């Protein structure tokens, strides 16, 4: 089949058209979110508190057990459930029960939630409150010592381990009440610090929002002293690193150009 | 089928049947896979799992190699999806996706899925805002499956940098999946006797050259780095791989999963939906063991490896120790074996050499047109639209299911019956449903391959040509040339009627053999 020049040119034009279509399909602008949206994102992992009933074994009971099973304190229980409540400007977005992962709910609790919010100044409240009541404070087990018994070291170690686990666990209440200015096309990330036992608002890489009023509340973390702590703050916190240039978005008195 | 034929015709008009890319979508896909591996190996050298976007940015900043090789990798992967989808559409439209071909179809569906997953991992590797969108949407779907207690999306929450191990896993999958695809390709082609892996060189060079030119002249830009605490209102998406993104984000995860699984299930099970009874044109070949001489030709010619030689159970007299046996599960009923068997002892029912001769004899008895007009024996799948115009140009047209199915004795008998000449029109060689019909016909007519056209037949009165949709000019030119050639030959050069014809072409009467 001999090809005429007109067909060759037509073939080249068609091939060029196919290539253009290929490139267009390869780089199609895809709308993934409407303009002017913002998002509240909750994301954390934390170990729920263990609700358990402990009983101290007598020396005789302990001796009757195999060597590797001689724990002074025998505890039975489960991991607590929590009520996660999220509201923006008083409107409740979520009021759900959350629990630890796994079939037995004995794994860390993982939370990942996203809520679309309208950009602007918003009052965001996030709280995580324990639902299950303690059966019995096991601080006795925590503080126990085994003076005079042959298993003193073991019992001390048990107590320490228990205290460490308790220190890592979620408190009975973690609450954040914050008024934020949320910028469009930005995500406000609320996460939980298992060290500070409070919610933390993460700063975006670029100027996104700032806090005008921020209230935190943590309750019942240290049960051995049984105190309720509350922290109130009203400050002007720049949540971004120093911007490359000053923008007029900042209200007076909160200029990021001022020394931090 | 009609849109496919129209597309075929258009592509043949533009590029000729030899280089029609639609005829060789499978080999084009294999060639593009090779191109992806070559360019991918280059990109792999510069990729860093600890700083994915930055490493791609460095590549992109290199105008001499990095930028266009990256673009070529991307465009080749898109072209691969197009080639694979066209390949599937073609085989489905031509009813080549069921029965013995079911394995090729189902493995092809799995290969396409592997290709998509490999493509997704490739885009996530770049970690621009499109890659992040793919990762987040994929994680959202994955989190709907109760496998892991920790949501995968937590990786992309933005509270910390995405760990390098994620990109390492991604890279591993992006490299390992094509290797798995290579193994899958072996299964995909396992039932073919002589699979063609590459398109003809001109077409291969043209495709690679065109994609390279596009990559150099109009390279793919690098999108901004993923910012997990920002919301992109739009991303530059590759719709060949991310066509599902708008739906997946709009639908609940369970519905998106259901849609994906149902689509995969329907595609995978297509051979069972389109299954046809193995009768008439789909009946498998059978061997007449009394005629089989054990010459081993049909197993060699069968394009599907459906025929094997097995020891004959009750050999007596001069019968061969081995006899051909057809595996119906592998036989696609192309009839190529019938054309390969000199004693006419194998073939699908009603399409063996004996059946062809019997039909021709019956036609000769009731009509004298064969004695007056040159015969055009046409593959019935080649270009049905050319048949009527060919008859208007003086051809006595006879159709065969495949040129490879045609027994050369039919050509000889036509000439002996007085036909001035016989032209055999085949389909385009890369578009043959019997895969190797035109090749074997040519070998049997001109190169003495069993069952060859006898040497006593005047080759000047025999010709072969390709009849392709969209190339009526080619069909007509071949016919005109053949007619002129016949006109130049004197009537005296006609093959004399050979009294031995019956002994050569006629099957031995069964009653006679029984005696």
ipTM (interface predicted TM): 0.90
Domain end: B219, B253, B273, which one? B273
Q: What is the rounded CA–CA span in Å between residue A250 and residue B234?
A: 27
In-domain check, residue B171: yes
Closest by Cβ to A186, choosing from B229, B239, B471 = B229
> What number is the average pLDDT over the span B403-421?
93
Domain count, chain A: 1
Q: Which residue of A has its CA nearest to B477?
A: A1
Q: What is the pLDDT of residue A142?
A: 54
Q: Which residues of A touch B235 (CB under 8 A)?
A: 29-30, 32
Q: Which residue of B has its CA nearest to A20?
A: B214
The whole domain housing B80 covers 2-273
Q: Which residues of B touch A38 (CB under 8 A)?
A: 231
Q: What is the pLDDT of residue A77?
A: 85
Q: What is the pLDDT of residue A202?
A: 81
Asked whether the predicted pLDDT for residue B505 surpasses 60, the reply is no
Give the pLDDT confidence of B482-501 residue by residue, as tens digits: 999 998 885 544 555 444 44
**Quick check: B13 contacting A, CB < 8 Å?**
yes
> What number is the average pLDDT over the span B497-514?
47
Chosen for mutation from A8, A26, A98 (greatest number of chain B CBs closer than 10 Å) is A26
Q: What is the rounded CA–CA span in Å between residue B298 and residue B213?
A: 46
In-domain check, residue B513: no
Q: What is the pLDDT of residue B271?
A: 92
> What number is the average pLDDT over the span B187-199?
93
- B369, B439: one domain: yes
Q: What is the rounded CA–CA span in Å between residue B403 and residue B429?
A: 10
Q: What is the pLDDT of residue B341?
A: 95
- B265, B210: one domain: yes
Q: Which residues of A touch B158 (CB under 8 A)?
A: 41, 43, 187, 189, 202, 204
Give the pLDDT confidence of B210-224 residue by residue, as tens digits: 999 999 999 999 999
Q: Per-residue DSSP letters for B294-309? A: ---HHHHH-TT--EEE
Closest Cα to residue B402, out of B96, B14, B7? B96
- B31, B49: one domain: yes
Q: What is the pLDDT of residue B491?
A: 56
- B266, B287: one domain: no
pLDDT beneath 50: ranges in chain A = 137-139, 145-150, 205-212, 222-260
Could B239 and A102 be called an inter-chain contact, meaning their C-beta atoms sit closer than 8 Å? no
> What number is the average pLDDT over the span B275-282?
84
Q: What is the pLDDT of residue A251?
A: 34
The overall longest dimension of chain A from CA atoms, in Å, is 107
Could B249 and A189 be called an inter-chain contact, meaning their C-beta atoms sit closer than 8 Å? no
Give B306's contacts (C-beta < 8 A, 6+ positions apart): B100, B284, B285, B326, B327, B328, B330, B331, B332
Here the tokens at position B45 are: 């050298």
Asked whether the predicted pLDDT for residue B360 surpasses 50, the reply is yes
Q: What is the rounded CA–CA span in Å between residue B363 and residue A142?
A: 105
| Of residues B264 and A252, more confidently modeled | B264
In-domain check, residue A151: no
Region of A129 on the Ramachandran plot (φ > 0 left; ψ -120 to 50 alpha; else beta): beta
Q: Which residues of A touch B133 (CB under 8 A)?
A: 30, 32
> What number is the average pLDDT over the span B165-192?
93
At B21, which CATH number? Answer: 1.20.810.10
Q: What is the rounded CA–CA span in Å between residue A12 and residue B313?
A: 61
Q: What is the pLDDT of residue A221?
A: 53
Residues 358-417 of B with CB under 8 A from A: none
- B211, B284: one domain: no
Radius of gyration of chain A (CA): 29
**Quick check: B96 contacting A, CB < 8 Å?**
no
- B126, B245: one domain: yes
In-domain check, residue B514: no
**Is there a contact between B231 and A33 (Cβ–Cβ < 8 Å)?**
yes
DSSP secondary structure code for residue A118 in this structure: -
Q: Which residues of B touch A193 (CB under 8 A)?
A: none
Here the tokens at position B257 are: 């999963």
CA-based nearest distance A46→chain B, Å? 11
Region of A52 on the Ramachandran plot (φ > 0 left; ψ -120 to 50 alpha; else beta): beta
Region of A232 on the Ramachandran plot (φ > 0 left; ψ -120 to 50 alpha; else beta): beta
Domain count, chain B: 2
Looking only at the bridges linking them, the beta strands covering B422-426 and B375-379 are: parallel
Domain end: B273, B307, B338, which one? B273
In-domain check, residue A97: yes
- B230, B318: one domain: no
- B309, B329: one domain: yes
Least confident of A179-183, B2-6, B312-316: B312-316
- B338, B251: one domain: no
Q: What is the rounded CA–CA span in Å between residue B12 and residue A1?
A: 10
Extended beta strands in A160-243, E state: 173-182, 187-193, 198-202, 209-219, 228-233, 237-238
The whole domain housing A88 covers 36-51+79-134+166-238
**Cβ neighbour number for residue B337 with a 10 Å cutoff:** 33
Closest Cα to residue B137, out of B258, B256, B262? B256
- B408, B490: one domain: yes
Domain end: B229, B249, B273, which one? B273
Q: What is the rounded CA–CA span in Å between residue B401 and residue B448?
A: 22
Looking only at the bridges linking them, the beta strands covering A91-98 and A198-202 are: unpaired
CA atoms within 13 A on the CB side of B240: 25
- B324, B199: one domain: no
Asked whether the predicted pLDDT for residue B167 surpasses 90, the reply is yes
Q: Which residues of B touch A7 (CB under 8 A)?
A: 13-14
Give B314's contacts (C-beta < 8 A, 6+ positions apart): none
Question: H helices within B62-163, ranges in order?
Answer: 66-93, 102-126, 129-143
Q: What is the pLDDT of residue A248?
A: 31
Residues 10-29 of A with CB under 8 A from B: 10-11, 14-15, 19, 22-23, 25-29
Q: Please give the mean pLDDT across all residues of chain B.
A: 90
**Quick check: B15 contacting A, CB < 8 Å?**
yes
Q: What is the rounded CA–CA span in Å between residue A256 and residue A243?
A: 7
Q: Which residues pair with B324 in a beta bridge?
A: B309
Q: What is the rounded CA–CA span in Å between residue B352 and residue B335?
A: 8
**Cβ neighbour number for residue A165 with a 10 Å cutoff:** 13
CA-based nearest distance A260→chain B, Å? 23
Asked whether the predicted pLDDT for residue B252 surpasses 70, the reply is yes
In-domain check, residue A187: yes
Radius of gyration of chain B (CA): 29
Percent helix, strand, coil in chain A, to 5, is 20, 40, 40
Q: What is the rounded CA–CA span in Å between residue B454 and residue B476?
A: 27
- B309, B254: one domain: no
Q: What is the pLDDT of residue A105?
A: 85
Give the pLDDT confidence of B96-119 residue by residue, as tens digits: 888 899 999 999 999 999 999 999
Q: What is the rounded CA–CA span in Å between residue B165 and residue B44?
A: 16
Q: What is the rounded CA–CA span in Å between residue B443 and residue B337?
A: 14
Q: Per-residue DSSP letters for B375-441? A: EEEEETTT-GGGHHHHHHTT-EEEEES-GGG--HHHHHHHHHTT-S-EEEEE--GGG-TTSSHHHHH
**Cβ neighbour number for residue B42 with a 10 Å cutoff:** 15
Give the pLDDT confidence of B125-152 residue by residue, as tens digits: 999 999 999 999 999 999 998 888 888 9
Q: What is the rounded CA–CA span in Å between residue A140 and residue A163?
A: 11
Q: Which residues of B touch A11 (CB under 8 A)?
A: 14-15
Confidence bin at B159 (pLDDT 50/70/90): confident
> What number is the average pLDDT over the span B185-211?
94
Q: What is the pLDDT of residue B16?
A: 92
**Quick check: A102 contacting B, CB < 8 Å?**
yes
């Amino acid at each position: 089949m001999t090809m005429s020049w007109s067909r060759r040119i037509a073939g080249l034009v068609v091939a060029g058209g196919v290539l253009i279509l290929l490139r267009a399909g390869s780089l199609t602008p895809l709308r993934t979110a409407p303009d002017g949206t913002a998002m509240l994102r909750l994301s954390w992992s934390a170990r729920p508190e263990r609700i358990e009933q402990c009983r101290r074994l007598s020396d005789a009971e302990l001796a009757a057990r195999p060597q590797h099973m001689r724990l002074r304190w025998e505890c039975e229980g489960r991991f607590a459930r929590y009520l996660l409540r999220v509201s923006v400007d008083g409107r409740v977005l979520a009021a759900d029960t959350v629990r630890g992962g796994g079939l037995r709910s004995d794994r860390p609790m993982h939370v990942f939630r996203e809520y679309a919010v309208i950009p602007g100044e918003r009052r965001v409240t996030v709280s995580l409150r324990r639902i299950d009541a303690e059966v019995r404070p096991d601080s006795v087990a925590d503080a126990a010592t085994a003076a005079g018994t042959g298993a003193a070291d073991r019992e001390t170690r048990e107590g320490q381990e228990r205290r460490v686990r308790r220190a890592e666990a979620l408190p009975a209440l973690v609450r954040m009440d914050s008024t934020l200015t949320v910028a469009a096309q930005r995500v406000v990330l609320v996460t939980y610090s298992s060290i500070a036992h409070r919610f933390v608002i993460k700063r975006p890489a670029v100027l996104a929002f700032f806090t005008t009023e921020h209230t935190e509340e943590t309750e019942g973390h240290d049960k051995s002293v049984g105190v309720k702590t509350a922290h109130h703050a009203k400050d002007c916190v720049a949540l971004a690193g120093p911007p490359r240039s000053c923008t007029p978005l900042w209200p007076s008195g909160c200029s990021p150009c001022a020394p931090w | 089928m009609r849109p496919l034929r129209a597309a075929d015709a258009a592509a043949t008009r533009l590029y000729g049947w030899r280089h029609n890319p639609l005829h060789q979508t499978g080999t084009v896909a294999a060639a593009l896979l090779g191109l992806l591996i070559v360019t991918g190996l280059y990109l792999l050298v510069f990729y860093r799992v600890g700083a994915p976007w930055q490493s791609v940015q460095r590549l992109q900043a290199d105008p001499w190699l990095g930028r266009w090789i990256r673009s070529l990798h991307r465009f080749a992967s898109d072209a691969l999806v197009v080639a694979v989808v066209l390949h599937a559409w073609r085989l489905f439209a031509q009813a080549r996706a069921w029965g013995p071909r079911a394995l090729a179809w189902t493995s092809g569906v799995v290969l396409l899925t592997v290709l998509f997953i490999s493509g997704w991992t490739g885009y996530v590797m770049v970690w621009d805002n499109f890659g992040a969108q793919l990762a987040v949407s994929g994680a959202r779907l994955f989190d709907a499956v109760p496998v892991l207690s920790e949501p995968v999306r937590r990786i992309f929450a933005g509270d910390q940098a995405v760990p390098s191990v994620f990109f390492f896993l991604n890279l591993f999958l992006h490299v390992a999946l094509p290797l798995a695809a290579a193994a899958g390709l072996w299964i995909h082609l396992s039932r073919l006797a002589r699979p063609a892996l590459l398109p003809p060189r001109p077409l291969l060079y043209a495709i690679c050259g065109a994609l390279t030119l596009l990559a150099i002249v109009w390279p793919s830009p690098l999108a901004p780095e993923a910012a997990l605490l920002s919301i992109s209102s739009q991303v530059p998406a590759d719709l060949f791989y991310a066509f599902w993104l708008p739906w997946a984000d709009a639908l609940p995860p369970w519905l998106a999963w259901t849609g994906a699984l149902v689509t995969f299930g329907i595609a995978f099970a297509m051979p069972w939906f389109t299954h046809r009874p193995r009768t008439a044109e789909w009946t498998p070949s059978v061997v007449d063991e009394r005629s089989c001489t054990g010459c081993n030709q049909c197993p060699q010619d069968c394009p599907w490896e459906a025929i094997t030689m097995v020891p004959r159970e009750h050999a007596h007299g001069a019968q061969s120790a081995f006899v051909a046996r057809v595996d119906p599960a592998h036989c696609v009923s192309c009839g190529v074996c019938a054309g390969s068997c000199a004693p006419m002892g194998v073939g699908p029912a009603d399409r063996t050499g004996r059946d062809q001769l019997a039909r021709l004899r019956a036609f000769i008895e009731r009509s004298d047109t064969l004695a007056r007009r040159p015969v055009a024996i046409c593959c019935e799948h080649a270009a049905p639209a050319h048949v009527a115009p060919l008859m208007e140009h003086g051809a006595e047209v006879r159709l065969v299911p495949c040129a490879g199915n045609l027994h050369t004795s039919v050509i000889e008998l036509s000439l002996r019956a007085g036909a001035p000449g016989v032209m055999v029109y085949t389909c385009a060689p890369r578009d043959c449903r019997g895969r190797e019909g035109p090749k074997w016909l040519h070998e049997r007519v001109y190169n003495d391959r069993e069952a060859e056209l006898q040497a006593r037949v005047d080759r000047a009165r025999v010709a072969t040509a390709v009849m392709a949709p969209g190339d009526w000019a080619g069909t007509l030119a071949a016919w005109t040339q053949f007619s002129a050639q016949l006109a130049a030959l004197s009537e005296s050069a006609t093959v004399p009627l050979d009294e031995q014809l019956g002994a050569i072409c006629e099957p031995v009467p069964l009653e006679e053999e029984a005696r």
